[in-house]
Amino acid sequence: MIKRISLLGSTGSIGQNTLEVVRQHRERFEIVGLAAGSNVDEMIRQVEEFQPKIVSMATKEAADQVRQSVSGSTRITYGNEGLEEVATHVDAVFVVSAIVGSRGLPATLAAIRAGKTIGLANKETLVMGGSIVMKEAERAGVDILPIDSEHSAIFQCLQGERLDSVKRLILTASGGAFRDWTREQLAKATREEALNHPNWSMGEKITIDSATMMNKGLEVIEAHWLFGLPYDQIDVVIHPESIVHSLVEYHDGALLAELGTPDMKVPIQYALSWPERLPLSTPSLDLAMLGSLHFRPPDFERFPCLKMAYEAGRTGGTTPTVLNAANEEAVARFLAGGVSFLAIEEIIAEVLSRHTNHPDPSLEDLYEADRWAREMAKQCRIYAV
Ligand code: NAD
Ligand code: MG
């Protein structure tokens, strides 16, 4: 049977990889809806190729430009309402959530409430609103299937096993662009250096998150919500080659891992085809050629973002929401050239220090905490300029 898909964030790195998976399995997958921000040219190409029923762009101007250039019967809309329309379209059974940042949360929640299975790349959704998202998913009886490679690896290692047999989850981390840099070097790190990820080609925000190690911190929180385990059962190990995508340790001492060449099409396709596996044209991993793999503990002193994320996750309530929003704004300020690399962690620490945690927040409390933290992070005076 054909699986009909709405894809949020279709012009991005995950979005384009998702469309490549769909191209390889036209007999299995069909695109119903596409949503993106402002990349009009790419969206026009996608509409022509996939002929979706509905498309949404971030703004009216971008939507008008797409409408003027495409033929066919695709409905073209815009803004948050347009995004939710794509996320809840009656013909879609599966929604790939691959917008970057916390603006993915309302659309993902709308899709959950509409009973769609979720393929989740947008980890910020769970960091910002994990408690509510997981509750709503349970209530609606929908699966949230991981697309993030580490979580997909863990999900694959959990197939056929019981969660109560798990001793701990071990997330691997490449260490990002600055894995071996000293604090003195980090103080002078440039935008271009931070955007130069050793193993993965991804969107700008997540690439900076990898360089600060905040990405791994966000993933620890994501793992907590996806698999329902406490933080002291979620560990991180640095693995520069990104070949072992993560591991599960069981109570009998057995460790299961998922390995492969770094290619996001593998976890994307697994989420789309689960519980089946489909063929995929990706290079075979030659272990003998590789020869050796390396592992070492993470350095919480050089990369305090990872430590702040663990602490925020353990505190819970509105604190992870504030961590995430402050991080998004700090990364935006760094990408815009306004602050130094180390200012990112300073801004986050400063905003967290001013926050009063709300231990049992409603959705509205989360949105309010997100707004407050963004405002603080924009204003915050930084010493490490
Ligand atoms: P990206 O920057 O390449 O793409 C982001 C997408 O979001 C684009 O299609 C953009 O048009 C869309 N978007 C931005 N603002 C929007 C708006 N207002 N309305 C609608 N759409 C909007 O980012 P990416 O690397 O593809 O990452 C997407 C998400 O997946 C992030 O949450 C990231 O953490 C996660 N993720 C990415 C990778 C990866 O390999 N790229 C791996 C794991 C997880
Ligand atoms: Mg990841």
333 and 299 belong to one structural domain:
no
- pLDDT, position 11: 98
Helix axes 204-212, 341-354, angle to 10 degrees: 80
Tokens of 385: 């300029």
Angle between helices 265-273 and 149-158 (to 10 degrees): 50
Count other C-beta atoms under 10 Å from residue 75's C-beta: 15
Measured from the CB, is residue 43 less than 6 Å from ligand 1? no
Q: Which two tokens stand for residue 94?
A: 């599966």
Determine, yes or no, domain membership for 111: yes
Domain with residue 126: its CATH number is 3.40.50.720
> Whose atoms come closest to the Cα of 173: which ligand?
2
pTM over cut 0.95: yes
| Domain match, 33 and 156 both | no
With cut-offs at 50, 70 and 90, classify the pLDDT of residue 153. Answer: very high
Residues 364 and 350 in one domain: yes
Statement: residue 358 has pLDDT above 70: yes
- Domain identity same for 185 and 240: yes
Q: Is 129 in the pocket of ligand 1 (CB under 6 A)?
A: no
Picking from 88, 120, 146, the residue at the C-terminal end of a domain is 146
The domain containing residue 181 runs over which residues?
151-303
What residues contact residue 90 under an 8 Å CB cut-off, 6+ apart? none
Q: Is the CB of 9 under 6 A from ligand 1?
A: yes
The answer to whether 89 touches 115, Cβ cutoff 8 Å, is no
Nearest residue (by CA) to ligand 1, atom 32, is 122
Q: What is the reported pLDDT for 198?
A: 84
pLDDT of residue 381: 77
**The last residue of a domain, from among 281, 303, 325:** 303
In a domain, 179, yes or no: yes
Nearest alpha carbon, ligand 1 atom 23: 203
Residues linked to residue 78 through DSSP beta bridges, in sequence order: 57
Which pair of tokens denotes residue 21?
């998976």
Domain annotation covers residue 309: no
β pairing state of 94-97 and 75-78: unpaired
| Ligand 1 center to 184 CA (angstroms) | 31
* Residue 11 shares a structural domain with residue 57: yes
| Predicted complex ipTM | 0.99
Task: Please give the pLDDT value at position 365.
Answer: 98
Residue at a domain's end among 271, 303, 335:
303
158 and 282 co-located in one domain: yes
Q: Which tokens belong to 230?
A: 């406490």
Rounded distance from Cα 331 to ligand 2 centre (Å): 17
Same domain, yes or no: 63 and 200: no
For 20-28, the CB contacts below 8 A with 24+ separation are 20/265, 21/265, 21/268, 21/269, 21/272, 21/280, 22/50, 24/280, 24/281, 25/269, 25/273, 25/278, 27/2, 28/2, 28/3, 28/272, 28/273, 28/278
Q: Which of 263, 239, 260 is nearest to 176 (CA)?
A: 239
pLDDT at position 161: 97
User: Within a domain: residue 220?
Assistant: yes
Distance of CA 210 to the CA centre of its chain: 12
Q: Give the nearest ligand 1 atom to 215 CA.
A: 34
Q: Which of 202, 213, 215, 270 to mutate to test the pocket of ligand 1 (most atoms within 8 A of CB)?
A: 202
Tell me the CATH number at 371.
1.10.1740.10
Q: Provide the pLDDT confidence category of residue 384 given band limits of 50, 70 and 90.
A: low
List C-alpha distances in Å: 43 to 15, 52, 104: 11, 11, 18
Number of domains in the chain: 3
Please provide the DSSP assignment of 53-91 as one string.
SEEEESSHHHHHHHHHH--SS-EEEEHHHHHHHHHT-TT
The model's confidence at residue 273, banded by pLDDT at 50, 70 and 90, is very high
* 80 and 181, same domain (yes or no): no
pLDDT value for 200: 83
CB of 268 within 8 A of CB of 118? no
Q: Note whether 320 and 237 are same-domain residues.
A: no
- Residue 308, domain member (yes or no): no
> pLDDT at position 339, please?
95
The answer as to whether 185 is a domain residue is yes
Phi-psi region of 367 (alpha: psi -120 to 50; beta: other; left: phi over 0): alpha
Shared domain for 140 and 161, answered yes or no, is no
For 65-114, the pLDDT digits (tens) are: 999 999 889 999 999 999 999 999 999 999 999 999 999 999 999 999 99
Q: What is the mean pLDDT of the chain?
A: 97
Question: For the range 379-384, what are the long-range contacts, defined as Cβ-Cβ under 8 Å and sequence gap of 24 or more?
Answer: 380/347, 380/350, 380/351, 382/339, 382/340, 382/343, 382/346, 382/347, 382/350, 383/346, 384/187, 384/339, 384/340, 384/342, 384/343, 384/346
Whether residue 127 lies inside any domain: the answer is yes
Positive or negative: CA dihedral 64, 70, 71, 72: negative
Q: What are phi and psi of 75, to 5 degrees?
A: -80, 130
Query: Cα–Cα–Cα angle for 373, 375, 380, nearest 5°?
Result: 90
172 and 92 in a single domain? The answer is no
Closest CA to 82 of 58, 114, 103, 104: 58
The structure tokens listed for 309 are 């994320």
Same domain for 84 and 49: yes
- How many Cβ atoms are within 10 Å of 209's Cβ, its own excluded? 26
| 310 in any annotated domain | no
Element (H, E) at 168: strand 166-173
**Strand-strand pairing, 255-259 and 244-250:** antiparallel
Q: What is the pLDDT of residues 109-140, one digit of tens each?
A: 999 999 999 999 999 999 999 999 999 999 99
Q: What is the pLDDT of residue 149?
A: 98
